Structure 1
Amino acid sequence: MFIQGKVKTYNATCGFGFIAVDGEVKDVFFHIQDVPNSSIEPKVGENFKFIIAEDDGKFKADRIVRLDIQSVSMDRIAAKPSGSKKSTASSRYHKGGHTGKILIGIALIIMAVGAVMGYGKYQDYRTTEQLKAQQLIIEQQRIVSEQREALGDLPEAILSEQGQRNLAAETYNTNKPRSEKISASIDQQNGVRLATTQFKCDGRTHCSQMSSYEEALFFLRNCPGTKMDGNNDGEPCENDSRW
């Protein structure tokens, strides 16, 4: 299927350029060897009609028709003096011309079929790229959700704009161990802001094994099997005299 666009850029030294198509984000590549009347250098803004063809896994413009040059040629034909002599042709010449028209028609049909197939592959390629982008977004959202669950229910007020950017960067870097999380929370009972520290679940379960109240609070909220909150009020190690 033929589409129409305008020459956006052309590099005369390298012999290639790009065509802008209305409604399309990506420009279409073209090479001078596929341009008819290549002795006339393509100009920026020139109208091309072409089909999308695949070449070594990449898409390019093929079967290019130079609409502006074609219109100029038609104008010259229209301006030709009417008094010029008409050439006569024999019946043999007319028969040859008829055969040539048939061959041209067959060639056009083959070109149309190839254009439809090439355009179909181009559409499949675009669809695949869009699906990949959507899957990447979904995977990133899943990783963010898992990290938020591991950190616990944190008030949004303590996540500054910089902190949110850091969380997104950490989520994207999937090579980091998921057992190591940055714990930043506010003690909802006492209204005390805890310092941002790094802890990880390592099997400890009792208050005597904790080095600070913040560490005990992290283990109580994030690690299974802890035995530091006898009255289940969410506050660990209340009878520990160290803090």
Structure 2
Amino acid sequence: MPITGTLRSWNEDRGFGFIAPTHGGAEIFVHASAFARDGSSPTVGENLSYELGRGRDGKPQAVNVVRLAVGSRPPRAPSGRETHKSQTSWVGLLIIALLLGTGGVWGYKQFSGWQHRKNLASQPAELSTPAPGSSEASPAAFSCDGRVYCSQMTSCAEAKWFINNCPGTKMDGNSDGIPCQEQWCN
């Protein structure tokens, strides 16, 4: 059966104190382990409910102490560790969101480039004849021979023919339909 009393003294450094029973009698020893582990310290003068038990030395002591002012458990103040954990969780979610967004943008660009190349491949290739006196070779002279990079081309016309007619070319980095802008088609 619970007994009520008031905390008369408390030694924070050593983790114990004494309770004065409400109905009188000798003060009862109470150890910090008898309180709920909520991170807050007992306060001198607060009303408590407790049960009588025996300590290691056989003397009576309070056990199962409940703080009456706040009910069975006092309000928890977040510890520094929990605050850090919630901030870490928030930052982690932000990083995940940024990574997903970046991956989505990259995937969209890859899909758009593939779609553009697919559309170009489905259109008939335009055979244009170079202007008289031009040093560019005739498009009829080109064939899909496995070349896929700008460094393997010899002219802008050749690069354009390859990107429009050969699969797997890697000459249009920004997917705008103009190949080899750095080397040939600037």
Name the TM-score, length of structure 1 as normaliser: 0.28
Q: Which fold has the larger relative contact order, with Cα–Cα distance below 8 Å and residues 6 or more apart in sequence? A: 2
Q: Return the index of the structure with the highest Cα Rg.
A: 2
**Greater helix percent: which structure?**
1
Name the TM-score, length of structure 2 as normaliser: 0.36
